[in-house]
Amino acid sequence: MIHEAFHIANTGRKGPVLIDIPKDVSAAKTLFEPVQNVHLRGYQPTVKPNRLQLDKLAAAIQESERPVILAGGGVVYAGAHEALLEFVNITQIPITTTLLGLGGFPSGHELWMGMPGMHGTLTANRSIQEADLLISLGARFDDRVTGKLDGFAPHAKIAHIDIDPAEIGKNVNTDIPIVGDVKHVLELLIPLVARAGKADAWREKIAKSSQENPFKYKDSDKVLKPQWVIELLNETTEGQAIVTTDVGQHQMWAAQYYKFNQPRSWITSGGLGTMGFGFPSAIGAQMAAPDRLVISINGDGGMQMCAQELAICAINNIPVKVVVINNQVLGMVRQWQELIYENRYSFIDLAGSPDFVKLAEAYGVKGLRATNKEEARQAWQEALDTPGPVLVEFVVEKGENVYPMVPQGSTIDQMLLGED
């Protein structure tokens, strides 16, 4: 069963498998016998795509005037980032990567439009709404990406490439379904396509829009802005760290302002969005990649859901740099109460939080606090220069909102852009 569990975890749609081991079995002795091939009846994931469907997609790509690629976490899990880069370079199709797809494509690339959806870029969302062909690669059309479903990508022929057949057609009607491993699919597709040169007007329009509509916020010299803090983390680490986040506003700012250029650099709770996920996931990432810098970005609410793991960092000298973006509230809930529930604030106040510096010190972990830019630069540099775990609390503006924002129930081009 252990062999089967590893097989399931590492093939098809990869992910954790739970094995319930009874006490007598866990206490028994056995010899390890390697198993080369595991065959499970009823579990035969399709990795090789259907050739006819590939031809259909290649033809659709050649015909299209306004194509867009939507790449998701599947690209990262399948190790398809190099094939994706080659595919984009050949076809010159503008690309957007979902929250879980960040790092699957280099953020510095001229055809990258940023993230789509609820807190995505104006350019990514508008391009999806105007596209005549949307090629989804290892993405699942999550509601945070699609917004109102029956106004999503209204002009597009939809190609959906996914290893899990249950995903195809689940949320969005698909014109060209392709079941297979996204790396295989791209490698087979690359020789079938060549379209650079076509859709020049489309690319120009998108490049202009990207240039005119970057993420923006009102900076301040009096109070720290959370977006500025993420920019500081990005600049000082040159986008090379493994970043994990918890759930909330800080998660979205991290996704918007940290510039990922390599896969397996970003761990965040999509879908379930479970607060308390961020810090333990950073510890796991650090143990798996001991030579890389791992930054755990948390809100002051979620940090308190697994803060006891500071003990694990201290005992095992796990050098995670723990960032607390302290806005003194359950920020994402405050934002919804402000913008959608007309300022009727309810149970968002975190004024009773502990002193995070003292909390870290109580566990034997170095704690630092910053309330302005100079302190922030200094504290963060000290954290980077300190071997071992460090917690840095950045005390930031309480009322800051994440923009752009697509309110629930709107189509993704109906975005609140925030104050100028």
What character string, x for contact with ligand TPP (CB under 6 A) and - otherwise, covers 4-23?
--------------------
With the C-alpha atoms ordered 51, 52, 53, 56, is the resulting torsion angle positive or negative?
positive
Residues 331-390 that bind ligand TPP (CB under 6 A): 331-333
CB of 296 to ligand TPP, least distance (A): 12
Nearer to ligand TPP, 72 or 248 (CB): 248
| 262 vs 265: CA distance, rounded Å | 6
| 70 vs 98: CA distance, rounded Å | 7
Nearer to ligand TPP, 167 or 300 (CB): 300
User: Which is it for strands 176-179 and 294-299: parallel, antiparallel or unpaired?
Assistant: unpaired
What character string, x for contact with ligand TPP (CB under 6 A) and - otherwise, covers 236-275?
----------xxxxx----------------------xxx
Q: Does 81 bind ligand TPP (CB under 6 A)?
A: no
| 89 vs 78: CA distance, rounded Å | 19
User: Which is it for strands 67-71 and 294-299: parallel, antiparallel or unpaired?
Assistant: unpaired
Closest Cα to residue 98, out of 67, 131, 70, 136? 70
CA separation, residue 101 to residues 104, 105, 115, 190, 316 (Å):
5, 8, 9, 20, 31
Nearer to ligand TPP, 167 or 397 (CB): 397
Q: Does 79 bind ligand TPP (CB under 6 A)?
A: no
Q: Does 280 bind ligand TPP (CB under 6 A)?
A: no
Q: Does 323 bind ligand TPP (CB under 6 A)?
A: no
Cβ atoms 290, 264 nearer than 8 A: no
Please provide the DSSP assignment of 298-343 as one string.
Answer: EETTGGGGSGGGHHHHHHHT---EEEEEE-SB-HHHHHHHHHTTTT
Q: Does 118 bind ligand TPP (CB under 6 A)?
A: no
CB of 336 to ligand TPP, least distance (A): 9
What is the size of the binding site for ligand TPP (CB under 6 A)?
A: 20
Cβ atoms 267, 292 nearer than 8 A: no
Query: Which amino acid is present at 402?
Result: V
Q: Does 397 bind ligand TPP (CB under 6 A)?
A: no
Nearer to ligand TPP, 123 or 245 (CB): 245
CB of 305 to ligand TPP, least distance (A): 6
CB of 402 to ligand TPP, least distance (A): 8
Q: Does 278 bind ligand TPP (CB under 6 A)?
A: no
Residue of minimal CB distance from ligand TPP?
299
Nearer to ligand TPP, 152 or 266 (CB): 266
Nearer to ligand TPP, 94 or 331 (CB): 331
Choose one: 80-88, 147-155, 200-208, 323-331; the region binding ligand TPP (CB under 6 A).
Answer: 323-331
Task: State the DSSP H helix or E strand holding residue 63, giving kind and residue range, or none if neither.
Answer: helix 51-63
Nearer to ligand TPP, 211 or 346 (CB): 346
The single residue listed with the structure tokens 């149970």 is 347
Task: State the DSSP H helix or E strand holding residue 85, giving kind and residue range, or none if neither.
Answer: helix 81-91
Choose one: 75-83, 90-98, 135-143, 322-330; the region binding ligand TPP (CB under 6 A).
Answer: 322-330
| 329 vs 351: CA distance, rounded Å | 7
Cβ atoms 138, 72 nearer than 8 A: yes
Closest Cα to residue 54, out of 179, 164, 153? 179
Interacting residue with ligand TPP among 72, 104, 114, 301 (CB under 6 A):
301
CB of 182 to ligand TPP, least distance (A): 28
Nearer to ligand TPP, 88 or 324 (CB): 324
CB of 332 to ligand TPP, least distance (A): 4
Nearer to ligand TPP, 136 or 227 (CB): 227
Residue 169's φ and ψ, nearest 5 degrees, are: 80, 0
Q: Using CB under 6 A as the criterion, which residues of the chain lie in contact with ligand TPP when the complex forms?
A: 246-250, 273-276, 299-302, 325, 327, 329-333
